[in-house]
Structure 1
Amino acid sequence: MPEALPFPIRKECPPGACECGRDELLEQWDGAPDATDIRILRLTREQEKALIERIENIASFEELGHIEQRMQEQLGIRLTITPSANGVRTVMGLQIRLVEQPGLCRKTRENVPAAVRRCFNKNPDIVYALLNARDLLGAE
């Protein structure tokens, strides 16, 4: 890399263990630094652990929204939580995922939704508030 990155980035995953496209993203950034969003690479393994812990300790629907917004602003990643069309009887009835993007590690794509699910299991009131916000008369 001819130009140094403006912040420390996540280390490479072992070859064949991940298909995140980290190297391709860095090559794009080398070619056009102003046109390439590399914020996702700021999420190091240590920071990911802290994020997972913070997500697991969410206590309210508003706090969940705040963390979603901060993840979007700081890392450029979007968390989507979608209730099943057939109704939600348990937390497993929610589709929780991170939107695919270059540089997003496979483990992160698995760990963040799992942490949200654990948070929902601890605090079912958040799930109720989420479902109320997405009802027929709700915004989404």
Structure 2
Amino acid sequence: MSDVNPKTASVPALDGWFTLDCERPQLLGNRCAACGTVYFPKLKSGYCRNPDCDGEAFEETALSRTGTLWSYTNAAYQPPEPFAQVDKDAFKPFAIAAVELEAEKMIVLGPIVNGTGVEQLKVGMRMELALEPLADGKLTWKWKVAA
């Protein structure tokens, strides 16, 4: 696992978006009770966005932990809030991945774990969800190459 200390790192950067299980984290979405459409992040409105559905009830659902690398890029800029800001001189570029979730077949963006650069990535690779702290110590989800 990365630099996450499960005893001290328990504050999420975005509350309710993912579980805090450092060994097997999962993103949390919701599923329309009427048609089964899955959303991430969770819908805040009271109706399903599927144009063929009139559903208004949703159930929280844990999403796939694994998927396939669909695309990626190098982020050579400091991200905006809610990500923790660091001194401009201390900022280091990082990779961002678009991963197609295994069961849901939806694309979820997220940074790649520290220590993995774009030169180590290839479209089609198996990816797995991980947790890592931001500069302020709050946890966020990231993607890592699956073992």
TM-score relative to the length of structure 1: 0.25
Higher strand share: 2
TM-score by length of 2: 0.25
Larger radius of gyration: 1
